[in-house]
Amino acid sequence: MAFSKKLRILLEMIKFEHTIFALPFAYMGMVLGAQGLPSPAAFIWITCAMIGARTYSMGLNRLLDINIDKKNPRTASRALPRGLVTVGETLALIGGALFLFFLAIFMLPSLCHTLWPFVIIPMTLYSLTKRFTSLCHVILGICLGLAPLGAWIGITNTLPPLGIWALGCAVLCWTAGFDIIYSCQDHSFDAAEGLHSIPVRLGVKNALITTKLLHAATVLLLIVPGITFSLGKIYFCGIVMVALFLWYENSIISHDDLSRVDMSFFTLNGFVSIFAFIFTFISLYFHL
C-alpha cells in the first residue's frame, strides 16, 4: 500500500495525465506511417517510448527545479518541495522511465537505435534553459514536436517526409504557445529570480500576442500533412476544430486576467491533440 501511494504521488508530481498532450500527435505520425492501423507491437512500443521519454523529462524537471519551486508560492506545494517524496525516489522514477524508453527503442526499428539521442538531449536540456534563455518555450516545443517524427520512424524505419516535419513544427508552435500562457503566471517571480521566459522578456501582454501568432502558425502548418498525404475533408474539418479550440484558449486569457489559465492550459490543449488525432484517423482509415 505504501508503494502504491508513493507511486501515485510521484505520478501526480510529474502530471502523468498530461502525457495526453503529445501522445495523440505521436499516434498521428504512427497511423500516417502505417497508412492505417499499425501492428499491435509497434503501437505498444511507440506508446512506451513516449511515456518513458516524457516521464524522464518531467521527473528531471522537478528534480532540477526543486530549489526554485520551494521559493515560488505557486509551486511550493509540489511533492518534492514539501518532502512528500525524496530525491532518491525521484531518481528511481527517472531511472525507471529511462529504462522503459531504451527498452522500447531496442524493440523498435534500427533507425531508432541511431537517432534516440535527438530525443533525450533536448528533453534533458529543457529543464535548464529558463536559467539562460527566454527561448525555453521553444525547446519544450521541440521536445513535443519530436513525437510525430519519432512515431513515423518507429513505423517506417525511414526519415520523415515533409508532411511529418510540418506536423512536428505545428506541435512545436502549439506547445511553445501554451507554455507561454502557463509561464505568464510566474512573470513576477521569474523576473525577480533572474529566470528567463517570453513574459519576462516581452511583458505579459506581448507574450500573449506571441502565443496567438504561434497558434495561428500551428493551424497553417497542420494544413501541410493534409495536402501531402491527400487526406480527405474530415481531416480539414478537424483542423477547423483545432483552430476553434485554440481561438477559445486564447480568448479566455488576457494580460490583466489570468484566472482561467488552468482551463486554457489543461482542458483545451487536451482537446486540441485528441481531436487532431481522431479526425486524422477517421480521414485516413475510412478515406473520408
* Domain interval for residue 154: 2-286
Does residue 207 have a pLDDT over 80? Answer: yes
Q: How far is CA 41 from CA 54, 96, 110, 249, in A?
A: 20, 21, 15, 36
Cα–Cα distance for residue pair 53/66, rounded to 1 Å: 20
CA nearest 253: which of 174, 198, 178?
Answer: 178
Mean pLDDT within 214-227: 97
Give the pLDDT score at 261: 78
For residue range 159-188, list pLDDT tens digits in order.
999 999 999 999 999 999 999 999 999 999
Rounded mean pLDDT, 138-157: 96
Q: What is the pLDDT of residues 185-196, one digit of tens each?
A: 999 999 999 999
The residue with cell 500533412 is 225
What is the percent of the chain with per-residue pLDDT over 70, rounded to a whole number?
97
**Chain segment 236-285, per-residue pLDDT in tens:** 999 999 999 999 999 998 888 887 877 666 678 888 999 999 999 999 98
CA 2 to CA 104: how far, in whole Å?
29
C-alpha grid cell, residue 251: 480568448
Q: What is the pLDDT of residue 264?
A: 63
What is the tally of structural domains in the chain? 1
Does 1 have pLDDT greater than 80?
no
Domain CATH number, residue 155: 1.10.357.140
70: left (phi over 0), alpha (psi -120 to 50) or beta: alpha
